[in-house]
Amino acid sequence: MGFFSWNCKGCEESIKAPYDIPENIKWQNDCVVIMEDESFVTGCYDGYGRIDDFEIMEESEPSLWHKRCWEKAGKPKYTGASNHAADQGFFYDYPTKANMPISEYEPFTQEELSARDTYEKHP
């Protein structure tokens, strides 16, 4: 099985795999997974469906957050399934806010999400 990932519920950026991750976005590897029963795990995502020693089951519908986004949002509980990430948590060559310092990092606006979706469909 290859790389796969989900988008953060807070900012819609992918939960990043740790391999060759640029220094300025390493914080996007540290995440929180919240299951439907409200249980949660924090740790580093491996790119293959595991947060540290916890394996996200294929049939589950978890909410995933970057840990910083989750904390900034007030540590919300389960908010529904996260979307699967188009970049698989590994490919970094599409428009992103990831180059911003975390102090300036905010969730995408609807307009920005639309522009990014258009780019991903027609690069």
The percentage of the chain sitting over the pLDDT mark of 90, rounded to a whole number, equals: 43
pLDDT for residue 49 is more than 80: yes
pLDDT for residue 118 is more than 70: no
pLDDT computed for residue 111 by the predictor:
65
φ/ψ of 109, rounded to 5, equals -80, 165
Domain residue ranges of the chain, discontinuous segments joined by +:
23-121
